[in-house]
């Protein structure tokens, strides 16, 4: 225990039995507490359950997420030192924000499920809170550096791709599932030829009967090589390896053996333990990880409850993905969310852990690239599925139009003006205008 971490001592201590210290809910609150550099500090927004004050609810949250329970207990000092402390309470019985400091010794370094079972575990379902949302975390170095962290992050732009000075581009063939292996690889070839850097599987395409993983990987990389040779630009494939963990590890090896540079994982549905295993294998094989966040909205969509996308993105960076989808800042088909704030965090200094390249994806097309990049900046990967394959002249023209919209932005030329001598872009703008789809 650091010297700065002093436990609250209240009436409970005086009343405690001689063999130990009392642990009851009120003992987990100390409004004067100042966190130390070794603490993991979580910010929660919560509405207390009926009849409870904010402090009473906060004490229950700090208790249940560290080492207390509903009954008052006696415990030795060394156990008490592992307790969380709720401090900095702002609000009242109708709701507010609370900070909770956890000593790093409470956690099992390098074990993300254990950490989340504390800070995002039982507390989300307690009667003591009507709603509770984990908004943000301040991670101590001891935990942040106990995982591998990203291997490439934004460096994929130059280390694997030829995308220096511009956002790399990706495309998901549509319809999202149903194309057979040859059709899927053909769409990839057309998109690469049109100027897209990355073919990406959709989140629900893995190893179905109509498009087997092994055959798709092999054929897509063959077509990638053809496109690379024809264009002289590095191209690659974000192949979705999501499955049971041991199968994913075999697929990492297979992708490496066949010369792919990336794997894609649906990180929320697969689970962080599995992502940790994939990350370790990718270290051995030198592959980058593209993280799709399917199911994130089960945690983060309701603004008063759950776990914020910001925290999910923090977890993804700590575990070590190289890219993660973080929304489209209100453009495209997704609900508006804190894309800009999350992206800034992913790029920020963080105990020496490498940054992550954010991915904007969901309902994007050439007509909204300009306002999107005005909002997010250009340190982002941009993906369009429908916004490429729905082009009136097909996938290759759609890919050209999408790339033209990026090139226009990087050159500082308004997209409408750039379209004057880029007919594919002009056709895309005529088709979709500059509106976001719903």
Ligand X SMILES: O=C(O)[C@H](O)COP(=O)(O)O
Q: Quick one: what does residue 427 bind among ligand X, Mg ion, none, with the CB cut-off 5 to 8 Å set by partner type?
A: none
- Token pair listed for 44: 């929660």
Strand, helix or coil for residue 281: helix
Virtual torsion, Cα 118, 291, 161, 147, nearest 10 deg: 20
Binding residues among 203-222 for Mg ion as defined by CB under 5 A: 203
Nearest to 392 by CA among 435, 430, 434: 430
Q: Which residue has the tokens 């050159």?
A: 411
Phi/psi region, residue 198 (left: phi>0; alpha: psi -120 to 50; beta: rest), is beta
Alpha helices in 258-353 (DSSP H): 267-270, 272-285, 296-300, 309-319, 339-347
First vs last C-alpha separation in the chain: 52
Q: Which residue has the tokens 């307790």?
A: 83
Specify whether 184 is catalytic.
no
**Least Å from the CB of residue 389 to ligand X:** 8
Virtual torsion, Cα 325, 330, 333, 334, nearest 10 deg: 50
398 near ligand X (CB under 6 A): no
On whether 164 is known to bind a ligand per the annotation, the reply is: no
266 near Mg ion (CB under 5 A): no
Q: For the window 146-185, what string marks contact with Mg ion as x by the rule CB under 5 A?
A: ----------------------------------------
Nearer to ligand X, 290 or 305 (CB): 290
Q: How far apart are CA 89 and CA 277, in angstroms?
A: 38
- Token pair listed for 163: 């995308």
Q: Which of 16, 242, 326, 383 binds ligand X (CB under 6 A)?
A: 383
Specify whether 174 is catalytic.
yes
Q: For the window 201-220, what string marks contact with ligand X as x by the rule CB under 6 A?
A: -xx-----------------
Binding residues among 286-325 for ligand X as defined by CB under 6 A: 292
Alpha helices in 354-422 (DSSP H): 369-376, 386-389, 395-411, 415-418
Nearer to Mg ion, 149 or 173 (CB): 173
Q: For the window 179-208, what string marks contact with Mg ion as x by the rule CB under 5 A?
A: -----------------------xx-----
Strands lying side by side in the sheet with 129-138: 85-92, 95-103, 39-48, 129-138, 306-307
Q: Which of 292, 305, 323, 389 is catalytic?
A: 292
On whether 305 is known to bind a ligand per the annotation, the reply is: no
Minimal CB distance to ligand X: which residue?
385
Binding residues among 95-134 for ligand X as defined by CB under 6 A: none
**# chain residues binding ligand X, by CB under 6 A:** 16
**# chain residues binding Mg ion, by CB under 5 A:** 2
Strand, helix or coil for residue 22: strand
> How many whole angstroms from its chain centre is CA 327?
10
Q: Quick one: what does residue 218 bind among Mg ion, ligand X, none, with the CB cut-off 5 to 8 Å set by partner type?
A: none
Cα separations in angstroms, 27 against 33, 57, 125: 12, 12, 21
Q: Quick one: what does residue 364 bind among Mg ion, ligand X, none, with the CB cut-off 5 to 8 Å set by partner type?
A: ligand X
Q: Which of 24, 174, 296, 305 is catalytic?
A: 174
The residues annotated with a catalytic role in the active site are 174, 292
Q: Give the footprint of ligand X on this chain (CB under 6 A).
A: 172, 174, 176, 202-203, 292, 333, 361-364, 383-387
Q: Give the footprint of Mg ion on this chain (CB under 5 A).
A: 202-203
């Amino acid at each position: 225990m650091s010297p700065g971490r002093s436990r609250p001592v209240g009436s409970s201590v005086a009343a405690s039995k001689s063999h130990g210290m009392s642990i009851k809910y009120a003992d987990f609150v100390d409004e004067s507490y100042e966190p130390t550099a070794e603490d993991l500090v979580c910010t929660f927004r919560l509405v207390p359950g009926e009849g409870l004050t904010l402090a009473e609810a906060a004490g229950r949250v700090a208790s249940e997420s560290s080492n207390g329970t509903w009954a008052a207990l006696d415990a030795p000092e060394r156990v008490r030192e592992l307790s969380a402390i709720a401090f900095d309470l702002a609000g009242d019985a109708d709701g507010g924000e609370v900070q909770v400091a956890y000593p790093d010794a409470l956690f099992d370094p390098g074990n993300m499920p254990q950490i989340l079972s504390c800070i995002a575990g039982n507390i989300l379902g307690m009667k003591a809170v009507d709603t509770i949302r984990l908004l943000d975390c301040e991670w101590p170095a001891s935990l942040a550096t106990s995982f591998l962290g990203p291997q490439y992050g934004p460096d994929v732009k130059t280390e694997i791709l030829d995308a220096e000075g511009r956002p790399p581009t990706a495309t998901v063939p549509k319809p999202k599932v149903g194309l057979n292996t040859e059709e899927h690889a053909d769409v990839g070839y057309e998109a690469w030829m049109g100027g897209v850097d990355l073919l990406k599987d959709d989140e629900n395409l893995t190893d179905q009967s109509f498009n087997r993983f092994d055959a798709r990987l092999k054929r897509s990389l063959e077509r990638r090589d053809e496109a690379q040779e024809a264009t002289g630009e590095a191209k690659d494939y974000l192949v979705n390896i999501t499955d049971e963990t041991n199968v994913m590890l075999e697929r990492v090896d297979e992708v490496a053996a066949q010369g792919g540079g990336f794997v894609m994982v649906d990180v929320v549905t697969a689970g962080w333990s599995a992502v940790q295993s994939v990350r370790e294998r990718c270290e051995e094989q030198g592959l980058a990880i593209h993280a799709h966040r399917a199911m994130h909205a089960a945690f983060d969509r309701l603004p008063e409850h759950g776990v914020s996308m910001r925290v999910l993105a923090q977890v993804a960076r700590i575990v070590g993905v190289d890219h993660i989808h973080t929304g489209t800042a209100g453009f495209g088909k997704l609900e508006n969310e804190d894309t800009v704030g999350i992206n800034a965090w992913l790029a920020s200094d963080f105990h020496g852990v490498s940054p992550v390249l954010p991915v904007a994806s969901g309902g994007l097309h050439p007509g909204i690239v300009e306002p999107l990049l005005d909002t997010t900046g250009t340190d982002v990967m941009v993906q369009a599925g429908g916004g490429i394959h729905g082009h009136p002249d097909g996938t290759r023209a759609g890919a050209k139009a999408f790339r033209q919209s990026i090139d226009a932005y990087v050159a500082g030329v308004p997209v409408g003006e750039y379209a004057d001598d880029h007919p594919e872009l002009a056709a895309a703008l005529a088709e979709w205008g500059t509106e976001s789809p719903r």
